[in-house]
Amino acid sequence: MSLESVQMEEVRQRAQSLLSSLGSAQDVKAEVLTLASIALPVSEKYRHLTADEMLKENTAGCNSVEVSDSLSRLVKALSILEKYGCNLTSPTRPRYWRSVKHNNPVFRTTVDAIKGGRRVLFLYGYTNQQIDGLSFPDNITEPDCDTVAAVTLEVMTLRTEVDMLLKGVHPHPECFKDIIPGLTLQKQPADDSNLPGDKGEGEKPHTSPPLVKPTPLPRQTQPPKPPPAPPAARQCNLCGGASTLVCPSCEEKPFCDACDDLYHRHPSRANHKRDKIQKTPQETCSICGISSVHIQCSTCIQRLCLNCDRLFHSHPDRRGHSRTNLAAAAASSPSAFTWECAHCTTVNETRAVLCTTCDRPRLATPAITIPDGSGPTSQNSEWQCKSCTVVNQGSSILCEVCERPRLATRPPAPPAPESGSKWTCQFCTFVNSKPSVVCEMCSLPSKDSPGVSLPQSLQQPPSFTKEQPDLGGKPRPKPRAAVDLRRQKTLREDGLKLIQQIREAEKRGVSPEEVYAALSTCDGGGSGNPCDWLVSELPHLLDEICAMAASVQLTCRAPSAGTQLLVERDGSTPSGGGGGVKLSRAEAKLAWLAAGGDKEKAVRQLLRDRQVKMRELHSLGFQDAAQCEEALRQSGGDIKGALSLLQRPLMEPFHQRIWLDQPEPPINPKHPDKQRMCRRLLALYDLPSWGRCELALSLLQEPDVNYSLEDVVQAVKESHDREFIRRLLNTECPVCLSIFPRSKMQSLTSCQCSVCHECFRQHFTIAVRDKHIRDMVCPACCEPHINDPEQLDSYFSTLDIQLRDCLELEVYELFHKKLTEHALMKDPKFLWCCHCTSGFINDGNQLKVTCPSCRKSFCAQCKKPWEPQHQDVSCEQFQLWKRENDPEYQRQGLAGYLRDNGITCPECKFQYALTKGGCMHFTCSQCRHQFCSGCNNPYYKTECKVPQCKYPGLHAHHPRDCLFYLRDWDADRLQALLQRSGVAFNTDPSNETQSDACGVMEQKDEGGQQADSPCGLQTQPGQAGLCMKHYREYLVSLINDNSLDPAVLYETQELVIACQRYLMDWKKGDGEDENAYSARLLKKLMEVPLGEKVPRNK
């Protein structure tokens, strides 16, 4: 390994350690400069980053000007990536450190603007791709600080090297010759007239004059300091930018707007009067006409700005044109629109307040330099302890060795050492056991050494080395600084060697304590490996420690006064019992580690630990010393393990009993040993307390009870109240009237009823198999009210969970099938077949549809059986044609008319060829919807949602033109209403329907079942061959078809009742005429619309 590689590895490790612990870029700035200056190839210098590929990708196919622009962008991007890495290694990480957003404008213009930027983020740990950026994986809670610090260090080094290349101060630019061929390596004179290529100049050419710089360098290496003479009239006196104001009170000094605001904010200068500087108009570009002219092309005879020149002359045919830089003179003077950071020498834009590299303010003071030329250091540089002279890190407050504060003075010197006595070193405070000229630890002279007789001009006495050649004269003292450096170097080398040994040992599963003890035991470790020593020599040493401890203990038991004194001095006491001592290697190893590798201390520690463990076992009731020692030996000195071994013989009978194949005897509540039964209840049923166990036994011992143990235990877990428990154990099923405990009852979420499991299962099994899905309600109270769609969906979702474990698989699948059909009925394309009871989804738009079950056709609109005459004819025209031409229809007369205008369910649209006379409460056989057949309004079994409704039972809200009210009118009155509006009606039957019985079909309740059968009532003359009930229905259907309002024939009393029904003001005014009162009520009533859902077929 070359000297450069060794140096780089040492600097890298030191910088990586500082960065991973502190997370500050300023603390490793000196190390970064050192790394950047080492002459090594790029591929060897960067281990994590592919620096050569990144440089090639960002500078491929570019000329010298474009290379400078690309490298400038790369420096900015690496600065941002450096901040990302420092944030991850910082002890106080930002709140949102886990993710990097792509929509961040800084990220887009820097990291995303270069190639390879995201690869660096992947190395940091941002490996999870999100929609809007990158983030750490969810299973990563903390970043790998060591890896992040290593990558960040290489990012900082690469940024420094590229910045040095741009400034032309890189000590080894030849390393980048093959990587960046477009970059000129040698410096050019400041007055070079080649084209500038600064990125910042191309961004806003219309606001800033051009910054002319040498071709290979986009920025000047070190901008010259402004001369002490007053600045030029067009340059700001503070920042060097373009001035806009001049202050006569400040000796005619010019200022820009920003500097003027800051400088004259001071109270003593706030009243200064400033004058504006008149700017001369500048010549604009001949292409864009906006930016100022910077380049003149003599070939194409044009004067161009920087952007237009770069674009116009990028064409292959115009690359050889001869151009002249009109602003070359500005290159020799400081840039008027940039400023250099005094701390890191980075050239920043004028509008930047903080440095883009070190984040220091614009007017910050330069970094403090060390006079001996060791290079710039940060404020957190290393410091030397004044007590023990150890060099500590800049971030530490206390010394790592003597733990004295950083600003503490040297401790007072102890009294002069006497001959043959101990003395304390005045420099490192080490207590020397032998009289000597120099300290054994720091090699510095004692107070009475010959060094004190040196001249007073020496501020500190020089130190002597331990070994000096005998030159026959007085030993020549060496400078103290050299001795300190040598000692520090030795300490550092020893420390690094120890750290390397510990790391190798951790890889092999060896702890640092074992390494330290091994090094202490084998006389400082020698040149061998401590891990190998632990494998080969440690077992023999542990056996020797065990043998020595056993011999010492046996000697203590012998009646020897000298041995007894030795035992007392060691602080141990003889243990009772006979037999030999039994010690294990595990105990010996623990004592050896506790003693730090000292064999004699390990023997004493082993004996003390064994006696403490023996006393603890004796206190637990194990008095046999031999058994205790054997148990400790087998368990490796573990008290819990030894206790387990000693208790195993005692627990053997219990183990044999609990592992027998015989069943556990049942709990007998009448057993005389009450405590034993309570203990078994606690162990088997997990009751909360001993009192609950006694309560359960007392309930089981009551006379004339048939409770099971499981039921009582479940009830006792719920409450401690005896009366409440009895109610829980004696619950009556409302269906079968049997007594069950509450734990064997089941309830629905829609009501408070509880039924036994068997009744619950049988009820819903029959309901699923034989009834409609809306009949699946509580068997006790018939709740809930299924007509409410919202309540229906919530009810079936919870009922499905209860029926899953209750019904058989076949019945449960049928329940799901009916639920599916119920959901399909809500589809507007769902149709019921008029020939059978099947339903299906009709995706077509034709009137003729065919049922997939019975293969018969019907009309999708009027739901009538399909006939050829219905083709290409509307339903109304087809019904009119059928009335005039169909003999069968004419034979049926008005009975056929009432059948065609039968009942249609407003919920599922299923049609019934039935009349509306009789009971108006109709229940659909398909969806179980309950509604009024005259107005289609729903029926409610409980309180409805209509405001101010006071009806708690079964009811519906009928409009005034519903058959529910008009069926009580006489036929003459209904005919009068039709005649009033000129509506024709029949009074004579057709020739084919001459019969004495009414033949209109209606739904009747026969034997508990609903069946369709003819009316059969006697007909009367003048009623068109119908009974009085159906003739009124016929007249009301004509009234509804023509939307006639029956209120015009209301009497005063009927008007009052109707107004009360609609919650209107019906009271008669004082002195109001009867006719005026009736007219006022009629006018108010006519404002209320007729029923919206009333069938009005025409």
Residues noted as catalytic: 919
Amino acid at 1059: C
Tokens of 1044: 């006639």
Say how many C-beta atoms besides its own lie within 10 A of residue 1067's C-beta. Answer: 8
Alpha carbon distances (Å) from 612 to 396, 574, 594, 639:
41, 12, 16, 10
d(CA 610, CA 629): 9
Q: 129: part of which helix (H) or strand (E)?
A: strand 128-129
d(CA 858, CA 851): 8
Alpha carbon distances (Å) from 645 to 124, 582, 606, 651:
52, 15, 21, 10
DSSP character string of 74-106? HHHHHHHHHHHHHHHHSSS--TTTTEEETT-HH
Amino acid at 1011: A
Cβ(943)–Cβ(952) below 8 Å: yes
d(CA 361, CA 352): 9
d(CA 1058, CA 447): 125
Q: Is the peptide bond before 784 cis (omega within 30 degrees of 0)?
A: yes
d(CA 459, CA 577): 69
Cβ(502)–Cβ(513) below 8 Å: no
Say how many C-beta atoms besides its own lie within 10 A of residue 353's C-beta. Answer: 9
In terms of Cα–Cα distance, which of 331, 367, 348, 357 is closest to 187? 331
Cβ(145)–Cβ(20) below 8 Å: yes
Alpha helices (H) along 103-206: 105-109, 117-124, 145-167, 199-203
d(CA 500, CA 866): 98
CA 751 from centroid of its chain's CA atoms: 41
Cβ(404)–Cβ(385) below 8 Å: yes
- φ, ψ for residue 739 (rounded to 5)? -100, 130
d(CA 1060, CA 282): 92
Question: Please, is 844 exposed, middle or buried when counting C-beta atoms within 10 Å of its C-beta (0-12, 13-18, 19+)?
Answer: exposed
CA 17 from centroid of its chain's CA atoms: 32
CA 616 from centroid of its chain's CA atoms: 50
Residues 6+ apart with CB under 8 A from 25: 19, 82, 86, 156, 358
Beta strand extents in 277-365 (DSSP E only): 295-297, 302-304, 323-325, 338-340, 347-349
Cβ(1036)–Cβ(1026) below 8 Å: no
In terms of Cα–Cα distance, which of 1045, 1061, 1051, 883 is closest to 955? 1061
Count how many residues are written for the chain. Answer: 1098
Q: Check residue 304 and report its DSSP letter.
A: E
In terms of Cα–Cα distance, which of 366, 493, 369 is closest to 30? 369
Q: Which residue has the tokens 């630890």?
A: 441
Tokens of 1007: 């034997």
- φ, ψ for residue 1059 (rounded to 5)? -65, -40
Tokens of 368: 């403090």
Cβ(563)–Cβ(569) below 8 Å: no
